[in-house]
Structure 1
């Protein structure tokens, strides 16, 4: 990195200021703070009174606090701080962003709510003047803001004493702040840094020809204008430069990694004319879809190469990815190697184990000693909950080469697990694993193994380019014969309370017809916050409370008790399934449901991925608004798998028109996973959908937004491929290489190498 960027921050802004920045933001160098860009800019022009606040639009308010109160939530742990604000002494206080479709009016005052808003509670005291920014929503018939960003103007040295005309001319940068470090405090240190740093000495990772083509600002000027703009055009030009620079550095890193992977030497696993794979194909009771056959041919060709295959296989729920992966595994076994399938949960690992053995039929050899042969293959399961004897045998089978296919959970990553000749790694639902876990499995092979990553969550092209850019991508977009359509309906209990009983009589009808039912709950018990995947949208006020009373979310334990007393389900064998159960209890519950001994399964999202019960035809998702689009799409894919039409009921108590019901309407409107993934990306926090939750941090992308900036990503990708193609080691582009090294800190390395 440049010596200037690597300088200790304290040398340029003083030890005291640097200590505060390091303590609260974790930034210790000049480069780290320079690249801590404002989240947004507040333009105080075109001011409008609070009384004309527009519904469902982003707004920025300058207002004074009238009152503040904090209460404890009943539906979940934590507090809600309610702040009432008014126009600042009657002067204009609102700037609209967007259109002017006024669909609601709140005269004079506005209610602002914060969940666990400790900073809001401490700072937004009566009489304080502040700037608020957020989206206006309706709750209880009135308009308000939920968890908006805010900036105290009383204490901001950059705006104190300025008249409205002066304020309107100068954008205010708003930095991502913490509870004890305000945006203006960060801005003050940045201003000092801009005056002392030698910005003209900073390296430019963008090649001169590209910078000239794009008409970019010089690096030094871009840093000045992104942090201290005098006009909107200033920060926009600077932001455009750094956004493209970020895209180019990321795409160059991906292109360089792709070139490095291609240069590795793997063991070629060539097809055998009359081996296991050929025997498997002859006994298949169905014909492969055109997509399965085409992708199978691609995998076969790549497995036969001396360089490692690195491929992402994405496909809809039930599109037949497992059969494609199994055929690849059999080709590797035919060639004398072993295949390992890594699954995220024990339930899914056990399902894969049973499904693969069942699919192999007589080609599956259990418990026989000996090396590889063409007659059959041994499939071995390895999980942490196995008995000591079974686990020891599984470890021996993997190490000796007796097991051709080893299926397991994180237990496969243990130090005491070894393989005779690991040739192929198949990772199922890759978004549940981090790079360290995948690399731990790769390290168990004597040569770089071939890699097949599978996901049932459709990935928009922009995300694939940004996250999985070092992998070749294949898509299965057609369902095999026998998959029945799934009809999805939103069951709104707010407008139709009588439907609550009908849900269970409808379940009984399905059971009486010989089928089975899933009931999915967001919580395990009444004492937890909910069983949600990382990245789901935060609750709004109306999500958690209705008419001022607590909203109790459905839990597995409570629903089981309720359904045991439900007249419509009298005599129906039902059982719970959730993540806190002992593994043996979970396995037994799933086995009973699979064998049709249990007719109704009350579960959390533990059944979201991989569970394959062909007789299940109805899924009831309670408090469905508490799940994201991707989760709902995954969940409903558990029904309609055995040729019988499937039905999914999305049950909600939220009022029609509530923003959280938009997700439900989207899922009910289509079964096209790629269409839903685009909608998902719009509604969810982008950092989470890109995998930042693996490292517990914010999004690794600073200015780039994959849904909005596809053209930028594509242009940068093309530039990066040309640069790396002609200069794989980047010797002719040292500043770009330095930028990649600086960009790939451990958090971003995990993000980049998710594939």
Structure 2
């Protein structure tokens, strides 16, 4: 679709012009012919059959009826004026009503003639009725314009409708565009692929996805265009990976030395799980190949990713390299720093923390130690990628929750060394398999899928508002045992639009129920200054307060083994992955932990599924799959800014099989023909070059 004609600005299409072009760009991001052609229908109205009047039911969507007009009359005065007509077939009578355009419609209606009626049926006084139907004179034996097909329905907006660009208006524009350009929609898949997967031609697929004659045509067009979209996405990701392994040599970590062995045998406070051992082995093999490692490490909250990262860094240090961990927030960077310091102890290796809060004097010392190579591990936020930060020999970069970082930010890190460092990307947000194959399709993926020994699964319950006193009683019992409790609210101040429990009211209720001096409460939210937030956090960490009332700022980066209860107020307002992250803040010690999800009695269908899912399972990957089915892949955290998921026709929740087929095919093609130089792949190579013209492969995308 990169033929120059399809890049023509949309204002040059007949029937558009400057003002309509402006609104198309603003409302639908349609800038050129190609964008309009890829504005696919979101549904189809079935005009492939005629219904009898007797068959019409009140809950039916649009229906099409063949009926003879028997009478018409205008009734009422001025504002109450309406046109009413009667039409019948051999099974009954239907009433037709118009409230607008009455004079014009009345002239068009000829009693005694047979019409094709099309509209949404209703019932009034037990009589079938249709308001403002589309009407077309029926001519026996002639091809009826606009009926007996699946009629496309396009997304529009109120602004577009002001320019008569409702679904019908867009349909007209697209029909005109296809008429003008369809002959220039060239094939971009070789015959051997089309034959093997029984794919329809590209030109006919574009025609039939917009204007199918029947369901069969539509399904064939959809399958073809979905396959094409996912195939080229995988081609881009896997070629990216291939080119990078050819272009970027990697530092070779030859040996596992004293630092690793000392830590493993004498400092590691617990036995590694089989999952952790497997991932370490995968990283070890990667760093011996002489090719830059790019590996994604997925693991649920509390599964031990930080230990795996630390042990990987010790291998790098054993081989004379420096390492760093980049985290998205100061809280999370600080968390990693404290965890790693406590694991390695004093005097073992040099570890430093660099964030925006570090004073200049301390910063200069860190810069000096980095440059002379005495600093082994640097942990920080995006302060790590500032130009002033120079490493002597950076060998391994660990990026935590990488979806929070832009491509440019990440790319700056691997320019910090002559041979780019190995990259280990970590995420505690379990990613559905199909999403991982698209968002991270150019990375090797490791999964830690078991929790450390001794961890008890968190017990999750769902309470309604009526059970609040029971919840308070449970809190008091846990505090009496010496435990601590999180209470999380979705909002800081009351919203006029949302009937939510809010943090300020909640704190007041908690203070009444848990009064001084017996109980103490910490309050943490995003509007506090960093120093105030840190003060409150530390009171809770030290056990000076038993309850932390907070907004979701505690979602990541807080590790308090003594906290055994997580209470989420208005839990129905949170997404599944957020609920799962919040629950992961407890269950860090050996004691049994609990998560209580509070909600109103009235729950939406999706809200009920989310809460039931949380009660039913602790498995992050299972939760992620359900989350994707509910929200769609484009709304999963991090995917919007990735840019990878700009899918126009494919849907990762329903097209997993096509994605797998496309990926397997790309792997097979690259094994035989990595340069796409074979004669049968010329068409692919040309299409690929055109699609990705101007893109740089120097970065992970």
Distance in 2 (alpha carbons) for counterparts of 1:729 and 1:566? 70
Which residue in the other structure is 1:715 paired with?
661
CA contact (8 A) 1:291 1:478 kept: yes
Which residue in the other structure is 1:243 paired with?
226
Q: State how 1:493-572 maps to structure 2 within 5 Å.
A: 493=465, 497=466, 499-526=467-494, 552-567=499-514, 571-572=518-519
Distance in 2 (alpha carbons) for counterparts of 1:654 and 1:331? 54
Cα drift, residue 567 of structure 1: 4.5
Which residue in the other structure is 1:25 paired with?
28
Distance in 1 (alpha carbons) for counterparts of 2:300 and 2:634? 23
Give yes or no for the alignment of 1:231 onto 2:234: no
Match of 1:485 among 452, 457, 468: 457
Give yes or no for the alignment of 1:700 onto 2:646: yes
Q: Deviations over 1:255-285 (max 9, x none)?
A: 1011012213334242545421111112212
Give yes or no for the alignment of 1:476 onto 2:424: no
Gaps of 5+ in 2: 65-83, 89-116, 122-130, 161-165
Distance in 2 (alpha carbons) for counterparts of 1:390 and 1:689? 39
The 1:571/1:687 distance shift into structure 2, 3 A limit, reads: same
Q: Deviations over 1:203-223 (max 9, x none)?
A: 322121011222222222111
Q: Deviations over 1:57-115 (max 9, x none)?
A: xx74689xxxxxxxxxxxxxxxxxxxxxxxx99999xxxxxxxxxxxxxxxxxxxxxxx
Distance in 2 (alpha carbons) for counterparts of 1:89 and 1:523? 54
Distance in 1 (alpha carbons) for counterparts of 2:479 and 2:603? 31
Cα drift, residue 637 of structure 1: 1.2
Give yes or no for the alignment of 1:169 onto 2:116: no
Distance in 2 (alpha carbons) for counterparts of 1:588 and 1:745? 52
What RMSD over aligned residues (CA atoms) do the two structures have, in Å? Answer: 3.4
CA contact (8 A) 2:46 2:151 kept: yes
Distance in 2 (alpha carbons) for counterparts of 1:700 and 1:716? 17
Q: State how 1:29-48 maps to structure 2 within 5 Å.
A: 29-43=32-46
Give yes or no for the alignment of 1:736 onto 2:671: no
SS at match of 1:254: helix
Q: State how 1:385-424 maps to structure 2 within 5 Å.
A: 385-424=357-396
Give yes or no for the alignment of 1:591 onto 2:591: no
The 1:327/1:178 distance shift into structure 2, 3 A limit, reads: same
Which residue in the other structure is 1:292 paired with?
276
Which residue in the other structure is 1:325 paired with?
309
CA contact (8 A) 1:564 1:570 kept: no
Cα drift, residue 623 of structure 1: 0.2
Aligned length: 629
CA contact (8 A) 2:395 2:422 kept: yes
Q: State how 1:574-589 maps to structure 2 within 5 Å.
A: 574-589=521-536
The 1:620/1:742 distance shift into structure 2, 3 A limit, reads: farther
Distance in 1 (alpha carbons) for counterparts of 2:87 and 2:583? 52
Distance in 2 (alpha carbons) for counterparts of 1:343 and 1:459? 19
The 1:351/1:20 distance shift into structure 2, 3 A limit, reads: closer
Distance in 2 (alpha carbons) for counterparts of 1:573 and 1:131? 64
The 1:699/1:331 distance shift into structure 2, 3 A limit, reads: closer
Cα drift, residue 345 of structure 1: 1.6
Distance in 1 (alpha carbons) for counterparts of 2:521 and 2:16? 64
CA contact (8 A) 1:385 1:583 kept: no
Bigger Rg over Cα: 2
Q: Deviations over 1:272-324 (max 9, x none)?
A: 45421111112212211112112112211212221011111111221111111
SS at match of 1:13: coil
Distance in 2 (alpha carbons) for counterparts of 1:744 and 1:466? 16
Which residue in the other structure is 1:545 paired with?
none
The 1:690/1:627 distance shift into structure 2, 3 A limit, reads: closer
Match of 1:673 among 620, 623, 633: 620
The 1:551/1:470 distance shift into structure 2, 3 A limit, reads: closer
Which residue in the other structure is 2:173 paired with?
189
Distance in 1 (alpha carbons) for counterparts of 2:46 and 2:552? 43
Q: Deviations over 1:473-517 (max 9, x none)?
A: 111111111212210000022xxx1x2122223212211211110
SS at match of 1:173: strand
The 1:46/1:557 distance shift into structure 2, 3 A limit, reads: farther
CA contact (8 A) 1:484 1:641 kept: no
Cα drift, residue 566 of structure 1: 1.9
Which residue in the other structure is 1:601 paired with?
548
CA contact (8 A) 2:327 2:380 kept: yes
Cα drift, residue 337 of structure 1: 1.6
CA contact (8 A) 1:563 1:569 kept: no
Q: Deviations over 1:652-695 (max 9, x none)?
A: 01336744122101110111222212211111132122744216
Which residue in the other structure is 1:137 paired with?
none
CA contact (8 A) 2:46 2:63 kept: no
Distance in 2 (alpha carbons) for counterparts of 1:521 and 1:604? 5
Gaps of 5+ in 1: 54-58, 64-87, 93-128, 134-152, 366-375, 530-549
Cα drift, residue 15 of structure 1: 6.0
Give yes or no for the alignment of 1:643 onto 2:590: yes
Instruction: Normalising by structure 2, report the TM-score.
Output: 0.82
Distance in 1 (alpha carbons) for counterparts of 2:422 and 2:276? 19
Which residue in the other structure is 2:103 paired with?
none
CA contact (8 A) 1:504 1:569 kept: no
